[in-house]
């Protein structure tokens, strides 16, 4: 029987081999469907408006989701877990921080569509801190920088952008500390069968 510490070491950060047998997604789906049914019984026009709003959001999300799934497919096809662990893992050093900051700044679309890709990267050895940095630096919007300079001035824009980048690093560190001691990630393809 393995000790808890041994399991963590083998799993990198302790998240890789968790089994997700939770029924919560089905229960949540049932609750939402039940609410829609109750609303439809009480006021059909409100239910139709809610469904239309849902489908509008779905139409906006699908193209970005397709892009993310294509990127995940390409990453899985061409980038090995060792490479992710090397460039974004515990021993990535400054390079990992820089990659996470730049990737977060240039990533587009709603943030929640990137969650699945970050989860995939985490399974392959990405540090918790770098995932936090990626998510935080998404608040730096390159297309809006000229508009911010126009309305607020160059100094304000530079200070705000610097502040966002610096605090993204601090947020990443806090995320990693909150999760617990991060051990050297072991990429999935290195786990013994």
Distances (CA, A) of 32 to 21, 46, 48, 59, 126: 20, 15, 15, 19, 34
Contact 126, 163 (CB under 8 A): no
- Report the distance separating Cα 168 and Cα 135, nearest Å: 8
Kindly report which listed range (1-15, 57-71, 84-98, 101-115) carries the lowest average pLDDT score.
1-15
* Token digits of residue 44: 């059909």
Q: What is the pLDDT of residues 157-175, one digit of tens each?
A: 999 999 999 999 999 999 9
Question: What SS3 state is found at 182?
Answer: coil
- Collect all residues with Cβ–Cβ distance below 8 Å to 106 and sequence separation of at least 6: 142
- Report the distance separating Cα 141 and Cα 157, nearest Å: 11
Q: What is the pLDDT of residues 57-81, one digit of tens each?
A: 888 888 877 877 787 788 777 777 6
Tell me the domain boundaries of the chain: 4-190
- Report the distance separating Cα 170 and Cα 130, nearest Å: 11
How much is the pLDDT for 58?
A: 86
Is the model's pTM score more than 0.75?
no
């Amino acid at each position: 029987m393995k000790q808890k510490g041994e399991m963590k070491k083998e799993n990198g950060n302790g998240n890789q081999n968790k089994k997700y047998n939770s029924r919560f997604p089905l229960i949540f789906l049932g609750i939402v469907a039940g609410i829609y049914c109750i609303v439809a019984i009480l006021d059909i026009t409100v239910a139709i408006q809610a469904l239309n709003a849902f489908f509008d959001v779905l139409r906006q999300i699908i193209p970005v989701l397709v892009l993310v799934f294509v990127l995940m497919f390409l990453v899985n096809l061409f980038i090995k877990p060792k490479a992710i662990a090397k460039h974004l893992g515990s021993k990535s050093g400054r390079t990992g921080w820089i990659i996470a900051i730049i990737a977060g700044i240039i990533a587009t679309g709603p943030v929640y569509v990137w969650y699945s890709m970050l989860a995939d990267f985490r399974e392959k050895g990405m540090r918790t801190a770098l995932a936090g940095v990626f998510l935080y630096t998404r608040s730096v919007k390159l297309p809006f920088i000229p508009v911010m300079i126009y309305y607020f001035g160059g100094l304000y824009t530079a200070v705000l952008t610097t502040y966002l980048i610096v605090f993204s690093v601090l947020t990443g560190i806090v995320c990693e500390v909150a999760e617990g001691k991060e051990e050297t990630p072991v990429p999935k393809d290195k786990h013994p069968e």
